[in-house]
Amino acid sequence: MKNFLSILLNVFLFPLFIHTTQVVINNLEPRLDVNGVIIDAHDGSIQQFEKNGLYYMHAMQYGLCKEPPNYGCDGAGMSSRCGFQMNHNISIWSSPNLTSGSWSYVGNAIDVADRPAGVVFRPHLVYNPITKLYVLFWNYMRWNLPSLYAVAIADTPNGPFRLINPALNVSRGGGGDFDILVDDDGTGYIVYSQNYYMSVEQLTPDFYYSTGKSYMFEEYFVEAPIFMKKNNIYYALFGWCCCYCMQGSGILVHTANNPLGPYTLQADGDLACEPKSNTSKTVLPLTSISGLPTPNQGCEFHNVNTTSIARSQQNYIIKVTNSTGYTTYVWTGDRLNRSLFLLVDRWQQAPDGIKGHEPQYWVPLNFYEEGTIGKMQWIDEFILDV
């Protein structure tokens, strides 16, 4: 009888106690690899390609060069300036659970000698379910020439990647920051900035070229887009131009029922830019060896008396699905800090002045029933169900 009762309990009650793993994500400490070294990874994508598999990050590796002494883009026209060097690597990292101390260095995605010459930004990896290949995109700047997008492929997210197209034929010419969306039917789309405006274009089935089908947004002086889909709503998030700017930038949310629009701007406006008097009470003060907020960029372009609640410029959103099927969207941003995760970079905020040590800020996004996204908030740490 005891064994019979045990079977009944397992059959009927076990689904009520599905085990999930909870981890702590901390925004106050640097993110470390398995050897306790600060991860030099920025401006890239983080994805789990297989259920219960590793998370892969494909990101920029700046090395041990120093941040500019004042504004993040000082000396942008000098190839010797950190952040604008021709030899910055696209590095690959993996982690079982996204926590600090769990990241392992996999290697470089592609050798510098095997990619087009230029200053590389914002590498993003996607999986093409039609070709069964992993497709890596990156933007590269050429001195006194238009910036371009390169496309490379590999059989696994570990690489190595092979260049397949050195100049993606987007209809507005070269461009800047971008993101890639792979829709449920396997169709690929790129959202990209060019001449301070944002556009979306459909890619060919292999993702190597643009079809020319496009949509253009109205806002001016914008970059750093994120392109995603949730509950059959397409989201394009981007903010004011922020060239390694210390104060961070805003988040404008656009939604549509079709990836090629038309898009509607979320009514309650910018999610991240707040009056400086508000943010001084809710987040850590800006800390830097010598960096300064860049005038008239990021939130200050929108309103000189505002700054980013996240002290960051957005980079990527990590989709984290636990064993029950629930997905958290984490916005990430570079701090300048980057997690849904909204992933954001925190430029000009390295604790030791080394650009490769600039941190990121991660935070789960809050979605409301009608599909709108809640205002950005600063949190020192949070628990993530992976």
Model pLDDT for residues 51-76, shown as the tens digit of each residue? 889 999 999 999 888 888 788 888 66
Residues 6+ apart with CB under 8 A from 337: 27, 248, 310, 311, 312, 344, 345, 346, 349, 359, 360, 361, 362
Residue 163's alpha-carbon distances to 204, 209, 326, in angstroms, are: 17, 13, 36
Query: Do residues 134 and 58 touch, judged by C-beta distance below 8 A?
Result: no
Q: Taking all residues of the chain, what is their mean pLDDT, rounded to a whole number?
A: 88
In a domain, 215, yes or no: yes
In a domain, 143, yes or no: yes
CATH number of the domain that 360 lies in? Answer: 2.115.10.20
Comparing 75-84, 277-286, 296-305, the range with the smallest average pLDDT is 277-286
Distance in angstroms (rounded) separating the CA atoms of residues 54 and 95: 6
Tell me the three state secondary structure of residue 220: coil
Integer angstrom CA distances of residue 299 from 222, 294, 310, 328: 11, 10, 11, 27
Enclosing H/E stretch for 310: none
Mean pLDDT (whole number) for 31-47: 94
What H or E segment, with its residue span, contains residue 338? Answer: none
Number of domains in the chain: 1
341: pLDDT confidence band, cut at 50, 70 and 90? very low
Encode burial over 182-209: b for 16+ CB neighbours within 10 A, e otherwise: beeeebbbbbbbbeebbbbbbbeebbbb
What's the chain's length in residues? 386
- The arithmetic mean of pLDDT across residues 367-385, rounded, is 95
- The vertex-374 CA angle with 25 and 321, nearest 5°, equals 45
pLDDT of residue 288: 45
What's residue 5's pLDDT? Answer: 41
* 234 has a pLDDT exceeding 70: yes
Q: Given pLDDT bands bounded at 50, 70 and 90, which one contains residue 376?
A: very high
Percent of the chain with pLDDT over 90: 69
pLDDT the model gives residue 268: 85
Shortest CA distance to 174 belongs to which of 119, 220, 128, 134?
A: 119
- Domain annotation covers residue 16: no
- Residue 153 pLDDT exceeds 90: yes
pLDDT over 60 at 299, yes or no: yes
The boundaries of the domain holding residue 370 are: 38-385
Decide if 1 is inside a domain.
Answer: no
Does residue 94 form part of some domain? yes
Question: Which residues are CB-contacts of 238 (< 8 A; sequence separation ≥ 6)?
Answer: 177, 191, 193, 198, 217, 219, 222, 223, 224, 225, 226, 251, 252, 314
As given in the structure block, the two tokens for residue 178 are 């971008």
| Residue 179 counted as domain residue | yes
Predicted local confidence at residue 12, as pLDDT: 43
CA distances from 213 to 135, 193, 204, 210 (A): 20, 16, 10, 8
- The b-or-e profile of 315-350 (16+ CB within 10 A means b, else e) is bbbbebebeeeeebbbbbbbbbbbbbbbbbbbbbbb
Which of the residue ranges 210-214, 280-284, 305-309 would you say has the lowest mean pLDDT? 280-284
Query: Is the pLDDT score of 147 beyond 90?
Result: yes
Lowest mean pLDDT among 4-8, 209-213, 228-232: 4-8
From 2-16, 119-133, 182-196, 240-254, the region with the lowest mean pLDDT: 2-16
Residue 23: pLDDT over 70: yes
Per-residue buried b or exposed e for 254-268, using 16+ beta carbons within 10 Å of the residue's own CB:
bbbeebebebeebee
* Per-residue pLDDT, 3: 44
Residue type for 360, please?
Answer: Q
Q: What is the pTM of this model?
A: 0.90
Flag whether 369 is in a domain.
yes
Residue 15 forms part of a structural domain: no
